[in-house]
Structure 1
Amino acid sequence: MQLLATFFQIFLAIIFFTSGVEKLLNFKSHLRNTAMYKIIPQRITPFFLKIDIFFQLLISVLLLFGYYLKLALLLSFLFLVVYTVAIIVNLLRDRKISCSCGGILGNHEISRKLVFRNLFFLGIVPFLYLHAERLELNLISFILFVNAINISLLIYMFNTISNFKKGVWEYE
């Protein structure tokens, strides 16, 4: 159980880190996408986005190094709930907008599939709350870290290929 918890802890850290970094690097694009959700007032969207990026990066560091782990998991749960509710609200409005997830998760049009994906991540957080511990630097942790990165890269490559195929098919 501990190995699974360690793997998911690293994997969740990678998700939050890559998402936060991509949002930081593509701030203007992400700002436009976030504004399209039309949930928070336009004038505070830049402030909200800066807070979002800060906490994504903070959560990833706390998860990766295991400092204030319970706090990191509570923040993870809170942010995942907010993202999921925002997607559901816009699905109910029948809006066709980017999820603006970023990172290894990519940017896709919002869908029920993304809601289920987020529900899966939300299910991981309580499991981690019960089983996760501060990561020790040992061979097993290193192997789990490398495997989490490999899976993250595979997800990223799959998303990139999927987006490329969509672009090519839409072009034809």
Structure 2
Amino acid sequence: MSIISQGISLALGVLFVTAALDKMIHYRSHLHKVKAYKVLQNDGAIAAFSTVLILLELIVAVCFLFVWVNVIILTAAVSLQVIYMAFITYSLLKGNKRIDCGCGGVLGSTSLSWWLVGRNSVFIVAILSIEMFDDTRVAGASDRDVIFFSIIIFLFFTILQNMIRTESERY
């Protein structure tokens, strides 16, 4: 793995581990922040969803910090960012801007904005660039990755569209 890939991996590892630890330390506060998004209504679902995301953040963080990076870890990291972007986008489209993003860690906390969606897009590019700068990757892997991540992005927008449609049908 190239020095650039290792540097990006370590930086992302710090980002993910601090975010996960902050959410664990302030778990009840984090649950309230997730509930404020108004995507999930059931407290049990919010707790289960939050716990799974925190555990996934920790797994991704450890793998990035120890530079144990493969397509599964990259997919998990991108998926986390896509989920966060979906929640933020949904809330912004609903006019729900005055809630804490719940980002935690070195990213701190801030109110929702389109800037956060852009920032998470940059994180996705950084995650994907780990493989781009990896001089040991298998030839042809990038074509598979482009197709795979295109499908993830398509699913993100499909889910978001369904969430918006379902919400508009309520009113």
1:79 aligns with: 80
1:47-58 mapped onto 2 (5 Å cutoff)? 47-58=48-59
TM-score (norm 1): 0.73
Deviation of 1:65 after TM superposition, in Å, equals 1.3
Write out per-residue CA displacement over residues 19-67 of structure 1, whole angstroms, 9 at most, x where no aligned residue: 0000000000000001111112323101111111111111000111123
Structure 2 segments unaligned to the other structure (5+ residues): 137-171
Give yes or no for the alignment of 1:36 onto 2:56.
no
Deviation of 1:99 after TM superposition, in Å, equals 0.5
Alignment CA distance shift 1:132-1:22 (3 Å): farther
Q: Is the 8 A contact 1:15 1:104 kept in 2?
A: yes
1:125 to 111, 124, 127: 127
Give the aligned residue type for 2:92.
L
Give the aligned residue type for 2:120.
N
Could you tell me how far apart the structure 1 residues matched to 2:37 and 2:106 are? 21
Write out per-residue CA displacement over residues 112-144 of structure 1, whole angstroms, 9 at most, x where no aligned residue: 11111111001112211233489xxxxxxxxxx
1:5-154 mapped onto 2 (5 Å cutoff)? 5-42=5-42, 43-95=44-96, 96-132=98-134
Could you tell me how far apart the structure 2 residues matched to 1:76 and 1:25 are? 21
Give the aligned residue type for 1:15.
L
CA RMSD of aligned residues (A): 1.8
Q: Secondary structure at the match of 2:37?
A: coil
Structure 1 segments unaligned to the other structure (5+ residues): 135-172
**Aligned positions, number:** 134
Q: Is the 8 A contact 2:31 2:50 kept in 1?
A: yes
Deviation of 1:68 after TM superposition, in Å, equals 4.9
Give the aligned residue type for 2:48.
F
Deviation of 1:69 after TM superposition, in Å, equals 2.8
Write out per-residue CA displacement over residues 144-171 of structure 1, whole angstroms, 9 at most, x where no aligned residue: xxxxxxxxxxxxxxxxxxxxxxxxxxxx
Could you tell me how far apart the structure 1 residues matched to 2:135 and 2:69 are? 10
Write out per-residue CA displacement over residues 67-97 of structure 1, whole angstroms, 9 at most, x where no aligned residue: 3532111100001011011101111111121
Q: Is the 8 A contact 2:100 2:109 kept in 1?
A: yes
Q: Secondary structure at the match of 1:52?
A: helix
Identity %: 26
Could you tell me how far apart the structure 1 residues matched to 2:71 and 2:135 are? 9
Over 4 Å off, 4+ runs: none
Q: Secondary structure at the match of 1:109?
A: coil
Q: Is the 8 A contact 1:99 1:107 kept in 2?
A: yes
